[in-house]
Amino acid sequence: MRVLLAVASGAALALSFPDYNLWPLAWIAVGLLVLASAGARPGESPLYGFLHGLVFYPVCVPWIDTVMRQYGNLDPWTSAGILGLMAVAGGLLCSLFSWGVARASRKSAALACVLAPFLWVTLEFVRTHLPYIGFPWNLTGYAAVKSLALLQITSVTGIYGLSFLIAAYGSLVAFAILIGTRRAWRSVIITTIVLLVVALGGGYLVPTATPHHIAHLVQTNFPQSEQYPSNWLQLHAGELDELASISIAAAKKNPGPPEWIIWPEVPAPFNWQDPAFAARAVRIARDSGADFLVGVVDWKQAADKTWLASNSAVLLDPSGRRIYTYDKIHLVPFGEYVPLRRWLTFAGRLTADISDFTPGTAYSVGQIPGGSFGTFICYEAIFPGEVRRFAAAGAQLLITISNDGWFGRSAAPIQHLMMVRVRAVESRRWLLRDTNNGFTAAIDPYGRIVAQLPTDIRGELDAPYDFRTDLTLYARFGDWFSWLCVLATAVLLFFALKPRAS
């Protein structure tokens, strides 16, 4: 029975995310794992958390295997093995949860169920910050973002507050099952009613943000490729001319000064040191009379005279002068660089067709007429503690550029968009998201998608936005709530492990 509960817990949590969208299951998933772990023998309790992770990852992110095979030049066994290793790593982390709950339950069911949400958030926090392999994709709290009201919690606690809420509810249900008293079940019923009222009705009380500016987000829609010939720009000159025309026409169609143009994360060999590409970019800025933000590969010479590549965003002013650069800081392991390359020799094939990128070091804030902005690139959107640094550094608008073409039409692009919505709320900023092939969207400071382009088309989105200068508690103080959970976990585990007085 415990094994079935652990497996059901992993499956329930995985099925709460897109494309399954069975989000109510998340609210009982952690509770199922608590039931599997409470009262288990110390030697066997880690098994139940391990089984949870072993089921969760392959069901929730199966697209990782597809990406590895299609674009990483890996055979099916190797790509499946990488997904399997991810599941094993996640399972080992979750095994600490089931071990902790089991040890606390030896003192009392109440202690175990109080510990559970704090320990759950602590482990999600650890999962986010693991060296090289930190991967906070689909943290538990994202299952609640369909509720506009509950989503606002993240402006105070970050996404971890929603994870805590879901885990705490599941633990309350588990507690009621474990002790079976009327009082416990009455607490479950009252809590459920309150959550339903807030989740379903509270959205009507969330303010509406009024935009005063328009940005022109261009969705380039280039097909994803493993390799690009040296004459790619010449071969696709007609398409690049079309994109330039779309961009310039968009900037000039409204009365008043042209608003800025944004292109996505580099979807093709957009090398800033290539004179042909740089000339095209400068011409778009000059002919449109608008600022132009574009994703590029930017090469810089290091002190030892070697040339290093960055995945970057550069901003050109209307004269074509480069006035802002952001170099992507958090690179994709096994996609943009190979961690521990000396030992993981097989992974070199994943970056065989491109040079390893060099990470940036600064959360750069740029200026355009009207206010300041910060740019983060693709994968960085899943790291809440990093994105909030832009607002803390003075960014009044957030921009994210991405190339989700690697994912195909799997669940990954919509999962990615789901997480980006939370970044807008955490910092209480308008957020503009420009992608190669979708989802390109404008998101208001409360998490609403107010404009969006269809996927897999080439076109332009008039994206409304505005500037804000206020700082949320999360933007100002970062992961204070997560650290509070770490402290509470340590205290509760101390009492759980403390020998009983004789």
50-92 tens-digit pLDDT = 999 999 999 999 888 877 777 666 777 877 888 888 889 899 9
Which of the residues are catalytic?
A: 265, 328, 378
* Residue 321 vs residue 231, higher pLDDT: 321
| Mean pLDDT for the stretch of residues 170-183 | 95
Please determine, for residue 354, whether its predicted confidence score (pLDDT) is greater than 50.
no
Alpha-carbon gap, residue 230 to 233, rounded angstroms: 8
* Residue 73 confidence (pLDDT): 67
* Residue 344 confidence (pLDDT): 60
Cis bond leading into 439, ω under 30°? yes
Alpha carbons within 13 A on the beta-carbon side of 409: 3
Task: Please name the amino acid found at residue 49.
Answer: G
* Residue 492 confidence (pLDDT): 97
| Mean pLDDT for the stretch of residues 245-265 | 88
pTM: 0.94
* Residue 299 vs residue 120, higher pLDDT: 120
* Residue 229 confidence (pLDDT): 75
* Residue 401 confidence (pLDDT): 97
* Residue 201 confidence (pLDDT): 93
For residue 181, which phi and psi values (nearest 5 degrees)? -90, 155
How many of the other CB atoms lie within 10 Å of CB of 109? 20
Alpha-carbon gap, residue 496 to 107, rounded angstroms: 6
| Mean pLDDT for the stretch of residues 178-193 | 95
Closest CA relative to residue 391, chosen from 317, 271, 314, 475: 475
Q: Which of 157-166, 311-320, 351-360, 466-475 has the lowest mean pLDDT?
A: 351-360
Please determine, for residue 345, whether its predicted confidence score (pLDDT) is greater than 80.
no
Using a 10 angstrom Cβ sphere, with 0-12 exposed, 13-18 middle and 19 or more buried, the burial of residue 187 is middle
Averaged pLDDT of the chain: 91
* Residue 298 confidence (pLDDT): 92
For residue 502, name the pLDDT band (cuts at 50, 70, 90).
low
Inter-residue contact 424 to 447 (CB < 8 Å): yes
Tokens, residue 20: 């399954």
Give the distance, in angstroms, between the CA of residue 186 and the centroid of all CA atoms in the same chain: 37
- The predicted-structure confidence for 278-294, as pLDDT tens digits, reads as follows 999 999 999 999 999 99
Please determine, for residue 118, whether its predicted confidence score (pLDDT) is greater than 90.
yes
